[in-house]
Amino acid sequence: SQQGEEDPQALSIQEGENATMNCSYKTSINNLQWYRQNSGRGLVHLILIRSNEREKHSGRLRVTLDTSKKSSSLLITASRAADTASYFCATRRVDTGRRALTFGSGTRLQVQP
Amino acid sequence: NAGVTQTPKFQVLKTGQSMTLQCAQDMNHNSMYWYRQDPGMGLRLIYYSASEGTTDKGEVPNGYNVSRLNKREFSLRLESAAPSQTSVYFCASGAGFNEKLFFGSGTQLSVL
- Lowest-confidence region among A35-49, A56-70, A85-99: A85-99
pLDDT at B24: 97
How many Cα atoms sit within 13 Å of A27 on the Cβ side? Answer: 15
Chain A residues with CB inside 8 Å of B66's CB?
none
- Mean pLDDT, rounded, for A16-37: 93
For chain B, the DSSP string reads: ---EEEE-SEEEE-TT--EEEEEEESS--SEEEEEEE-TT--EEEEEEESSTT--EE-S--TTEEEEE-SSSBEEEEESS--GGG-EEEEEEEESSTTS-EEE---EEEEE-
A44: pLDDT strictly greater than 50: yes
B83: pLDDT strictly greater than 80: yes
Interchain CB distance below 8 Å, B106 and A41: yes
- Mean pLDDT, rounded, for A40-49: 94
pLDDT at A73: 97
Q: How far is A17 from chain B (nearest CA, A)?
A: 25
Chains A & B: contacts with CB separation below 8 Å: 56
How many Å apart are CA A35 and CA A87, to the nearest integer?
A: 6
Chain B residues with CB inside 8 Å of A100's CB?
31, 33, 45, 48, 58, 97
